[in-house]
Chain A
């Protein structure tokens, strides 16, 4: 697998997270939900690659994050091509719901560019509300609500994107498991993926209706129906 040397051009703070703009060719840009294994040159503080995701970016460029604390503009970064399966927003989707059960909705919000391009309305459901700095940068078409209001409006979205840590899969059952869902959905399951698909090491295994699946290869984005009612 060819690896590529790139450069970190800019570092920006979006809410609580540091994100970066890289000098990357188009084919190395991960689709929302895919990940990019990256390592900084001569960095002996981190043995394994950092997995960068495409995150929401209010600017023209594409931003990747979250960045490690010791990465600065000008740093040389080695990267593999984008790995795993990302979100696949149906082109027919017009009402996109985003449910964030993580510390930051930035990975999910990377879908806004695609959704806005197909004139979809977007609602972000998360508790607590995102950092005010981030809220100010969101396009006005993105509505932000609490998770309870998603449960009250489950007939609204025609597609739901979810972002959660693998330890929170039970929480997803608590939120959506008691309802008859009439929309498609996909879930970004964040979990350590140390071998990034090279070793089938099993550390990123996710229980699905089709048995254990590896987040590094089969995910990290899974269909909602595959992971709901399993954990």
Chain B
């Protein structure tokens, strides 16, 4: 087999000890073993979404329940990559499991800056790129190029972005795809409409369908399918997904139901 010296090797393997991860936005910026007894069941820890500069919480932040699910809207507040590295890089290095850093993609330039800041830090398994909801498929190769470095790349895209991005993703072959929860709208307490991420068992059938679509084109898929019960995780793993991402299910008082037979 011949390797072209000028060709970029884009795909790098990610190995997980266990086929479970947390979804970005559910467990903070670094593992905290005393309050997270379930860490031993996870193959990697995904940080909360991180931007180049600080982001404030959304003005209409909320958590709304509907039968079978939740709508969460926070605006992904975070103090920016430099502050996060200062505050958490030591905890990442000493964490009992590898870290996947979730980066909020804004522009190619800021993405490159963030990637450079993270390279060389210890115990980072991969970078996860959170794509904007309205991304143009033509812009994706440029973003991937901007994020190229030493670390494997995972593309995080929402269920509703699959149809428009599938072709270009198949060509780019990132290390993995993280299929994140769909977005929806509900009326808040004050009667105003709120957009946000949906989580919970209600989204499970939709996510299974979308995950299978990606698995069929030979992509490695991590999926947040609103899993709350062990059989749901088993069904996803049997369908060929690489790992199951757990979201608000990890906020339950007792998470034994999820991991009991492991």
User: Interface on A for B, CB 8 Å cutoff?
Assistant: 1, 3, 37-39, 46-49, 78-80, 167, 192, 194-203, 205, 212
A48 touches B252 (CB 8 A): yes
Given contacts A1-B35, A80-B253, A212-B57, contact A199 B189 (CB under 8 A): no
Interface of A is mostly: loop
Residue interface bits B80-111, CB-to-A below 8 A is 1, else 0: 00000000000000000000000000000000
Q: What CA separation (Å) do A54 and B76 show in the bound complex?
A: 31
Interface flag for B142 (CB, 8 Å)? no
Interface of B is mostly: loop
A-B contact pairs, 8 of them (CB 8 A): A38-B253, A47-B200, A47-B248, A49-B253, A194-B72, A200-B28, A200-B48, A201-B26
| Chain B residues whose C-beta falls within 8 Å of the C-beta of A47 in the assembled complex | 65, 69-70, 200-201, 228, 248-249, 252
Q: What CA separation (Å) do A167 and B61 show in the bound complex?
A: 11
A-B CB proximity, top 6 nearest: A205-B57, A202-B77, A202-B74, A192-B63, A200-B28, A194-B63
| Chain A residues whose C-beta falls within 8 Å of the C-beta of B249 in the assembled complex | 47
B36 touches A202 (CB 8 A): no
Interface flag for B73 (CB, 8 Å)? yes
B56 touches A198 (CB 8 A): no
Q: What CA separation (Å) do A3 and B75 show in the bound complex?
A: 30
Q: What CA separation (Å) do A46 and B48 show in the bound complex?
A: 24
Q: What CA separation (Å) do A3 and B38 show in the bound complex?
A: 12
Interface flag for B190 (CB, 8 Å)? yes
Q: Which of B57, B75, B251 counts the most A-chain CB atoms under 10 A from its CB?
A: B251
B248 touches A39 (CB 8 A): no
A195 touches B61 (CB 8 A): no
A198 touches B27 (CB 8 A): yes
Closest residue of chain B to A206, judged by CB? B57
B253 touches A195 (CB 8 A): no
Counted as pairs of residues, one from A and one from B, with CB atoms less than 8 Å apart, the total is 90
Interface flag for B133 (CB, 8 Å)? no
Interface flag for B163 (CB, 8 Å)? no
B252 touches A39 (CB 8 A): yes
Question: CB < 8 Å: which of A167, A198, A203 contacts B35?
Answer: A198
| Chain B residues whose C-beta falls within 8 Å of the C-beta of A198 in the assembled complex | 26-28, 35-36, 250-251
Q: What CA separation (Å) do A49 and B27 show in the bound complex?
A: 16
Interface flag for B37 (CB, 8 Å)? yes
Given contacts A48-B251, A48-B252, A79-B253, contact A199 B35 (CB under 8 A): no
Closest residue of chain A to B247, judged by CB? A199
Interface flag for B62 (CB, 8 Å)? yes
B35 touches A48 (CB 8 A): no
Q: How far is the CB of B24 from chain A (nearest CB, A)?
A: 10
Closest residue of chain A to B77, judged by CB? A202
Question: CB < 8 Å: which of B57, B77, B189 contacts A167?
Answer: B189
A49 touches B252 (CB 8 A): yes
